[in-house]
Amino acid sequence: MIDIRLVREDPAGVKRALGRRGVSPDLVDRLGDFDSASRLATGQRDELRARVKEISRQVALARRKGDEHGAEALAAESRQLGVAGSVLDAEVDRAQSEVRDLLLALPNIPSEDAPDGTGPQDNVVIRRWPEGQRVYEPFQRVPHWTIGEELGILDLERGARLSGSMFPLFRGMGSRLLRALSAFALDSHADAFEEIRPPTLVRSETMVATGHLPKFSDEAYHVERDDLWAIPTAEVPLTSLHRGEILAEEDLPVRLTASTACFRREAGAAGRDTRGLLRVHEFDKVEILALATPEQAPGLHAEMLARAEKLLKDLGLEYRVVDLCTGDLGASSARTFDLEAYAPGCDQWLEVSSVSWFSDYQARRASIRYRPSSGGSPVLVHTLNGSALAWARIWAALVEVGRRPDGSVALPEVLGPYLGGSTLIQPRPAAG
């Protein structure tokens, strides 16, 4: 969440910053009004409590002097103040609840470097690889759902039979390819990132810490009986690994990576890019995440983006880097770069990674701080994370790009060690 002190000290600046994201200034005014009401009621309550404490001292003194009449009068006043105090307690709780709800609802203040815009049409392509336009053969212009069915490596019909539409089922080399991609990515990050295997189900406060709740509750899978949520990304448990802790500055940055299944309802996506693996409810992904000082954050953001780009280059996929405009940023993000890989069979650029810097927005929700080595009060960390990479669409792009004239699929050589040495998926033998 944003710092309430900014709203108190520079409400006009907060309105301008959040206005770049399309947030109404009325919300900032409401937040300021409730914050003022909360502080006023808290001050009145504290004064009243101090008065009650003083009266208790006077009651004790009157009784020691044998002044029972005076003591009883003071006690009656104390009881009246207690009733008034209960009313003030309720006012404080109500105002503080409104302040917290508004803070949880407001998005992060965008980076000054994020381009202005209202939606995806205003995002900025800052580079692509390779620089020249690739030429794809007609046999590569076959969509992955057709290739997967022909080769027996993707069974969407049985996946839907088991769990419903948009739950894919991979078979044989299709399944092994997913496993190989995760192992390849984890090994690529092992030089600098500690591998974690977090739980797949998390508590509500864990989802709140990253900003996925309350805003995106309709997009998530909730196990109501246990009040647990299926993670939409490993960012959720990894961010909360140090929730409520104070770290030492010399231990920063903390670098973590994880391979997990991810679950998203994709509410409202019906009929929109739902064929094949373009939009699914469950997919595997390798995440990289860092906790850092504000000074370390820019360099880490660039490094994490470079790592995701290197994986795409190693896999031989054409891609572009997109700088998200303020109107398309995720609610928690201050700056995000998306990586989009080109899939010739679908003839689409597919988002396969988002690499984001969240400033101290998530850390404030999760109460993750560090103690400066120079001394002084603890400071909120900055959080960063990136997909490196999400596999459903990578899988789709690889089988389309790698398709050969005979219908087989040649996979990147870097995956050979993870595929038992064979990087070729052969067509199934003809029946009979």
CATH of the domain at 61: 1.10.287.40
**Is the residue at 201 inside a domain?**
yes
Q: Tell me which H or E stretch contains 362.
A: helix 361-366
- Looking at 351, 367, 371, 408, which residue is catalytic? 351
Helix pair 172-189, 297-314: axis angle to 10 deg: 140
Alpha-carbon distance 354 to 78, whole Å?
59
Give Cβ neighbours of residue 342 (< 8 Å, ≥ 6 apart).
134, 317, 318, 319, 320, 348, 349, 350, 397
Residue ending a domain, choose from 105, 131, 147:
105
**Is the residue at 431 inside a domain?**
no
Alpha-carbon distance 282 to 60, whole Å?
67
- Looking at 176, 279, 365, 403, which residue is catalytic? 279
- Looking at 78, 188, 354, 356, which residue is catalytic? 354
In a shared domain, residues 303 and 173: yes
Q: Residue 5 catalytic?
A: no
pLDDT for the residue 432: 46
In a shared domain, residues 93 and 128: no
In a shared domain, residues 418 and 308: yes
In a shared domain, residues 280 and 168: yes
Give Cβ neighbours of residue 225 (< 8 Å, ≥ 6 apart).
none
In a shared domain, residues 213 and 98: no
**Is the residue at 432 inside a domain?**
no
**Is the residue at 112 inside a domain?**
no
In a shared domain, residues 332 and 387: yes
Residues 152/428, Cβ–Cβ less than 8 Å: yes
Alpha-carbon distance 376 to 244, whole Å?
18
In a shared domain, residues 202 and 252: yes
Q: Which of 90, 100, 121 lies closest to 30, judged by CA?
A: 100
CA 42 vs CA 30, 33, 37, 56, 97: distances in Å: 18, 14, 8, 21, 13
Show the tokens assigned to 104: 């949880």
Q: Residue 393 catalytic?
A: yes
The three-state (H, E, C) secondary structure of 19-31, written as one string:
HCCCCCHHHHHHH
In a shared domain, residues 256 and 215: yes
**Is the residue at 111 inside a domain?**
no
pLDDT tens-digit profile of 225-235?
A: 999 999 999 99
In a shared domain, residues 146 and 266: yes
Alpha-carbon distance 18 to 195, whole Å?
36
- Looking at 264, 307, 364, 369, which residue is catalytic? 264
What is the tally of structural domains in the chain? 2
In a shared domain, residues 48 and 135: no
Q: Write the CATH number for 153.
A: 3.30.930.10
Residues recorded for the chain: 432
Residue ending a domain, choose from 72, 105, 138:
105
In a shared domain, residues 189 and 294: yes
Kind of pairing between the strands at 382-390 and 409-410: unpaired
Q: Tell me which H or E stretch contains 48.
A: helix 25-64
- Looking at 45, 335, 369, 393, which residue is catalytic? 393
**Is the residue at 406 inside a domain?**
yes
Sequence-ordered strand ranges (E) for 164-270: 194-196, 201-203, 221-223, 228-230, 246-248, 254-263
pLDDT for the residue 270: 57
Residue-range definition of the domain harbouring residue 32:
4-105
Residue ending a domain, choose from 41, 76, 105:
105
Residues of the chain with pLDDT under 70: 267-272, 430-432
Q: Residue 354 catalytic?
A: yes
* Position 265, amino acid: R
- Determine if the pTM surpasses 0.85: yes
In a shared domain, residues 363 and 275: yes
